[in-house]
Structures are given as C-alpha cells and as structure tokens.
C-alpha cells in the first residue's frame, strides 16, 4: 500500500509541476491572441482575464497518470494493467468534452451544441455498461432496472457537468469544490485499494494547485491571473461525474456493497448540485427561462450580502465542509432519505436567512432574484 500511495503522490507532484510550466505559457498565448473573458452584467470580475486555464488540466493529468502507471508497472515486477471497455469509452468521452470546451473558449460554441456534446459523452457510459443500478435505500429504493439506470446516468452526468460549470463564478470556487470532491473520492478508492483510480484522481488534483495559485493570487497587471473557462469546468465535471457513477454502481467484482455510496456521492458535490436545483425551482416558480443566465447563484448572493470574493470563497468551502461532516456523522444513525432531507432543510434555511439579511441591508428588493 505504501508503494501505491507514493506513486499517487508522485502523480500529484508531476501534475502540479506540469501545471506550473504550462499555465504561464497559456497566459502568454492568450495575451498574444487576445483571448480574454470580458466582463458583463452577470459576471463578477471587472477586467478582461485570460480564460484558457482549463486547457492545462487534461494534458497535465494524462502525463502524470501515464508516467505514474508506468512506474507502477515497473515496480510491480511486470504486472500489466488491464484496459476495460469503460476505460476506452471514458478516454473518448473526456477527449470530446475537452475539445468542445477548448473550442468554446477560443471561438465560442452555441449552448445547444454544448448540450448535445454533453449528452453524447454521457451516453458513452451506459454503452460501456457503466451506469447507476442501485439507490442504496434512498426513498426506500435499492436495485433499479437497467434501462432506468442508464437514462438516469446520462441525466446525472450532464447535470454534474453543468453544475460545475455554473458554480465557476468567482475566483477559486469551482476548482476548490472539485478539489474537496476529489479528495473524498481518493479516500474512497484508496480504502478499497483501487489504485488506478487513485492515481488518476491524484493526477487531476495536482494541476488544480497551480491553477488555484494563478486564479486566486495571480496579479492582473503582471499577466498572471487566469480563469479555467469551459475547457476546465466541463473537463472537471465530466471526470467527477464518471468517478461518482463508478462508485455508485454496485458491482461486487469491483468493490463490496457500499451502504453510503449514494449519500457520499451526493455529499461531495452537494453545494454545486443543490445550487442548480434551487435555481431551477426558483425559475419555474416565477416562470422565468430555465437557461437564461443571471446572478442568483450562491456566490452572487453572498457577494450582494457584502462579502468579498475571497470571503465568499471561504464561506462556500466552509458550507461544503459542514455538510460533509454532518452527513458522515449521521450515516450510521439515520436512513439516507432522512439525511438528504436534513441537508435540504439546512440549505433552504441558509438561503432564507441570507435573503433576510440582504433585504434588511437594503441590498436587494423583494423580487424573484431570490
């Protein structure tokens, strides 16, 4: 186990080094080509910022993962790593969604086309016989029919990709929440000694460190600040979604039955997914277009409440950590359905309190923006 842990740390370090090398090169490229994320009414930033930070994610992760796997094979005295059908489909899917994100960041891609690409890559999972097949007691449901699980898998993966994309509204938020989720997944797969996934996760976690450094602390005047763009958020969302579904699918040949699989998956991405659900419900209640962009996400509301970007970032990270602590603490004491119901009540109470605070400060009139 120690050897595999060291190999995972090696993948993490190599990916971080690749990121620190690539991101300055990407910044120079953006400056020469004038590829900037320009501010508008719904965005928080005030100046034009390079938006291709996510371009570094996939190459850094792949380089680190491949080298680490080669080291693993060498240290395992010639043991080979099998390539399963889902691994091939995963490689195809991540390539398609990464290229889609890059094209969108450089040239712009229509929302309908992006959604179509998301559906296509999500559909690759059921085609490789990877899909949600068990609810682990949520709403009293355990095993579900394959066709329902396959359709649900496509919807869940598309939803997660968009949730990670939509939460990417202030410096460091999407990457930080992804880092938290990846840390949880790393622990889960490490506990089950599924080291290939651990190495892949470590390879992705590593590149997020240099990105966060440039995204949060990079100086605009020195051309050091960068956004991840859709190339980053879509890639992160796709990988997170695939790993979550891999963990949720009950397959005794891969890992034993995990009573808390569904709950842990929801918990690790609770803030971005609940935020999207809240936005959808509010728009439906007030008959607003579902796909029209606005400034009603959790980070927008915290900023309207008077917090700075960094304070907002810390607040949302803290909220995510609180939900993780609560859910893990309750896992062995309550049914999954009741725990998620408690999460919903806490999240609703948080927003209700935030709305009252904003109104009392006179920062937001009583409108459907809530």
41 annotated as a binding-site residue: no
**Alpha-carbon distance 348 to 295, whole Å?**
18
Q: What residues form DSSP beta bridges with 50?
A: 36
- The C-alpha torsion from 81 through 184 and 56 to 199, rounded to 10°, is -20
Pairing of strands 36-37, 49-50: antiparallel
230 annotated as a binding-site residue: yes
- Across 242-328, the runs of DSSP E, i.e. the strands, are none
Residue in 85, 142, 163 with CA at minimum distance from that of residue 336: 142
Q: What is the DSSP string of 53-102?
A: GGGGHHHHHHHHHHHHHHHHHHHTTTPPPP--HHHHHHHHHHHHHHHHHH
- Residue 220's CB is within 10 A of a number of other CB atoms, namely 14
The helix/strand/coil state of 36 is strand
Q: 353: which 2 tokens? A: 């309190």
**Binding site for Mg(2+): which residues?**
165, 230
**Binding site: which residues?**
165, 230
């Amino acid at each position: 186990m120690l050897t595999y842990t060291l190999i995972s740390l090696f993948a993490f370090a190599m990916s971080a080094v690749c990121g620190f090398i690539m991101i300055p090169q990407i910044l120079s490229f953006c400056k020469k080509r004038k590829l900037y994320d320009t501010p508008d009414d719904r965005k928080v930033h005030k100046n034009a910022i390079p938006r291709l930070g996510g371009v570094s994610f996939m190459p850094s992760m792949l380089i680190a993962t491949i080298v680490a796997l080669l080291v693993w094979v060498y240290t395992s005295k010639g043991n080979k790593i099998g390539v399963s059908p889902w691994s091939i489909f995963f490689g195809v899917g991540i390539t398609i969604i990464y290229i889609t994100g890059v094209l969108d960041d450089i040239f712009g891609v229509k929302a309908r086309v992006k959604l179509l690409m998301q559906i296509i890559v999500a559909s690759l999972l059921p085609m490789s016989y990877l899909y949600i097949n068990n609810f682990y007691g949520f709403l009293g449901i355990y095993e579900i029919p394959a066709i329902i699980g396959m359709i649900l898998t496509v919807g869940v993966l598309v939803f997660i990709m968009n949730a990670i994309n939509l939460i990417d509204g202030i410096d460091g938020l999407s990457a930080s929440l992804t880092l938290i989720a990846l840390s949880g997944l790393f622990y889960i797969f490490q506990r089950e000694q599924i080291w290939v996934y651990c190495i892949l996760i470590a390879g992705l976690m590593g590149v997020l460190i240099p990105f966060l450094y440039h995204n949060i602390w990079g100086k605009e005047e020195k051309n050091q600040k960068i956004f991840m763009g859709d190339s980053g958020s879509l890639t992160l969302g796709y990988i997170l979604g695939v790993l979550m579904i891999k963990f949720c699918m009950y397959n005794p040949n891969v890992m034993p039955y995990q009573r808390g699989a569904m709950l842990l998956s929801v918990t690790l991405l609770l803030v971005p997914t609940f935020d999207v659900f809240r936005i959808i419900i509010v728009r439906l209640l007030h008959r607003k277009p579902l796909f029209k962009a606005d400034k009603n996400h959790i980070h927008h509301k915290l900023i309207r409440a008077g917090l700075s970007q960094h304070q907002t970032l810390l607040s949302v990270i803290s909220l995510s950590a609180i939900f993780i602590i609560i859910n893990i603490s309750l896992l062995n004491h309550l049914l999954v359905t009741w725990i998620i119901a408690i999460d919903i009540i806490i999240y609703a109470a948080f927003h209700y309190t935030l709305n009252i605070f904003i109104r009392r400060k006179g920062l937001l009139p009583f409108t459907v923006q809530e």
